[in-house]
Amino acid sequence: MTVNGKPTINDVARIAKVSKKTVSRVINKSPLLSEKTRVQVEQVIADIGYVPNPQARALALRRNFIIAAIHDNPNAQFLVNVQQGILEGIAGTEFGLMVEPVDRNSPTIVDDIRGFLERQRPYGVVFLPPISENDELASLCDSLGTKYVRMVSRELDKPEHIVMSNDREAVYGAVKHLIAMGHEKIGFIEGPDSLSPAERRAGYEQAMEEAGLPVHDWMIAKGRYTFESGVEAGLALIDGEARPTAIFASNDEMAIGAVIAARRRGIEIPRGLSIIGFDDTPLSSHIWPSLTTVRWPIVEMAKAAATKIIGGEEADPNLGVKLSSTLMERDSVVPPSRV
C-alpha cells in the first residue's frame, strides 16, 4: 500500500477513500468533521508518512510558513539571542526562520521591506529595535496582511503587536542601587537617538531626581552603542567638570569602553570608579573586573514574539508585553572611596 515518491494529499485521499478536501480539513483541524473520519484519515497519514507540502500551501494561502527577523544591524549577540528566541518559539512547528537586514537610513527602506514581504511572503515578521520604532513599517505590514510583532521599550502599538521590556524601570533600579551604595556623582552614557536609549535615560534621571541629586550636563555623554564611543564618552565624563564616582552605560559595549577609558586615566575599577552596563552580554562576565549589568530578557521577548505570531487569535495578546530586566550584580560596583 505504498506510494511512489513523496506521498501527497491525493495519495492520502485515495487510500483513505475520501476526498482531498476532507484530508485538507483533517490537516487544518477543521471543526466540522466527524470524529470517525478524522481518526481514519489520521491513521492513513501516519501510515504512509504524509507531510503536507509547504510550497503548495504557500501558493494557495499566499504566505510562507516562515517568520522573518527584520533588523538594522544590531550587535551580534543581540541578533543571535533574538534568533534563538524565535527558534525556541517555533520549535516543533513547521515554521522556519529567515533573517533580513535592512538599512535604517536608506530612503527606500519601506519599499525595500515591501519588496521583501511581497517576495518571500513570510507568515509574520519580528522587527528588532531600533527599526521596530518605525510606524510606517507597521502600517506596511497591515496593508499587506502580514502579521508583525515589534520589540520595543514603550507601548507604541497594540499589545498584540509588541513585546516589551521595562528598560526605564531597570535603569531606575540600577541607578538606585548605585545611590544606595553612597554614590552621588553618577555619570550616564546615553545610547544613540531612539526610544530605548531615551527610556534608559529617563530611568536614570528619575532615580537621580528622587534622590535629590542634581543632573548636570557634564554628567551625561552620548555614545553610539559601540565600544569606541564608550571609550570616548568615558573619557569625556572622567575629564569633565567633576569626576563621577560611578557611571551607568546604556549598553555593555560602551560600559567596557568606559572601563578602558578609566584605565587610560590610571583609574582602578571598581575602587576608583564603579561601572554598570546594560545587556548582560556573555562578555560582561568575562572581562576583569566582571561587569555589573542589567540583564535584558531578549531571548524571552523574541520567543514571545514568535509565539504571538504563530499563535494567532488564541494567543494571549499580552504575552511578553511586560518582561522584566534584572540587575546582575558582579564586581564592577563598590561604594565610593572616601578620598
Distance CA 100, CA 117 (A): 10
Provide the H-helix boundaries in 211-297.
Answer: 227-238, 252-264
Tell me the three state secondary structure of residue 16.
helix
Give 32 or 339: the residue with its C-beta nearer to DNA.
Answer: 32
Q: Of 3, 14, 37, 110, which one interacts with DNA (CB under 7 A)?
A: 37
- Pick the closest to residue 255 from 181, 168, 187 (CA basis): 187
CB of 303 to a copy of itself, least distance (A): 14
Asked if 3 is part of the footprint of DNA (rule: CB under 7 A), the reply reads no
* 43: amino acid identity, one letter: Q
Rounded to whole angstroms, the Cα distance separating 182 from 126 reads 41
Nearer to a copy of itself, 47 or 88 (CB): 88
206 binds, among DNA, a copy of itself, none (CB under 5 to 8 A by kind): none
Helix axes 20-27 and 35-48, enclosed angle (nearest 10): 90
Closer to a copy of itself by Cβ: residue 96 or 317: 96
**Which does residue 37 bind out of a copy of itself, DNA, none, counting CB within 5 to 8 angstroms by kind?**
DNA
What does 212 bind: a copy of itself, DNA, none (CB cut-off 5 to 8 Å by kind)? none
Radius of gyration of the chain (CA): 25
The residues in 75-134 that bind a copy of itself, with binding defined as CB under 8 A, are 76-77, 79-81, 83-84, 87, 94, 96-101, 116, 118-121
Q: What are the start-end ranges of the H helices in the chain?
A: 9-16, 20-27, 35-48, 54-61, 76-90, 109-120, 135-144, 167-180, 195-210, 227-238, 252-264, 298-311
Under the binding rule (CB under 8 A), the answer on residue 51 touching a copy of itself is: yes
58/198 with CB nearer a copy of itself: 58
**Interacting residue with DNA among 42, 47, 57, 215 (CB under 7 A):** 57
> Of the two residues 54 and 335, which places its CB atom closer to a copy of itself in the complex?
54
CA distance 211 to 208: 5
CA distances from 293 to 42, 65, 120, 282, 296 (A): 52, 37, 38, 11, 9
Binding residues among 251-270 for a copy of itself as defined by CB under 8 A: 253, 256-257, 259-260, 263
Provide the residue count of the chain.
339
Q: How far is the CB of 270 from a copy of itself (least distance, A)?
A: 15
C-alpha dist (Å) from residue 54 to 8, 59, 196, 287: 11, 8, 37, 46
Q: Which of 1, 2, 4, 5 binds DNA (CB under 7 A)?
A: 5
For DNA, how many residues bind (rule: CB under 7 A)?
32
Evaluate whether 135 touches 109 at the Cβ level (below 8 Å): no
Q: Kindly report each contact of residues 20-25 with a partner whose C-beta sits within 8 Å and lies 24 or more positions away, as own/partner.
A: none
Residue 21 binds which entry of DNA, a copy of itself, none, CB below 5-8 Å type-dependent:
DNA
Shortest Å distance, C-beta 328 to a copy of itself: 16
Instruction: Return the closest-CA partner of residue 203 out of 241, 163, 237, 154.
Output: 154
Closest separation in Å from C-beta 99 to a copy of itself: 5
> Which positions lie near a copy of itself, rule CB under 8 A?
6, 51, 53-56, 58-59, 62, 64, 66, 76-77, 79-81, 83-84, 87, 94, 96-101, 116, 118-121, 227, 253, 256-257, 259-260, 263, 282-283, 286-288
List residues near DNA by CB under 7 A. Answer: 5-6, 8-10, 17-22, 24-25, 27-28, 32-34, 36-38, 50-53, 55-57, 59-62
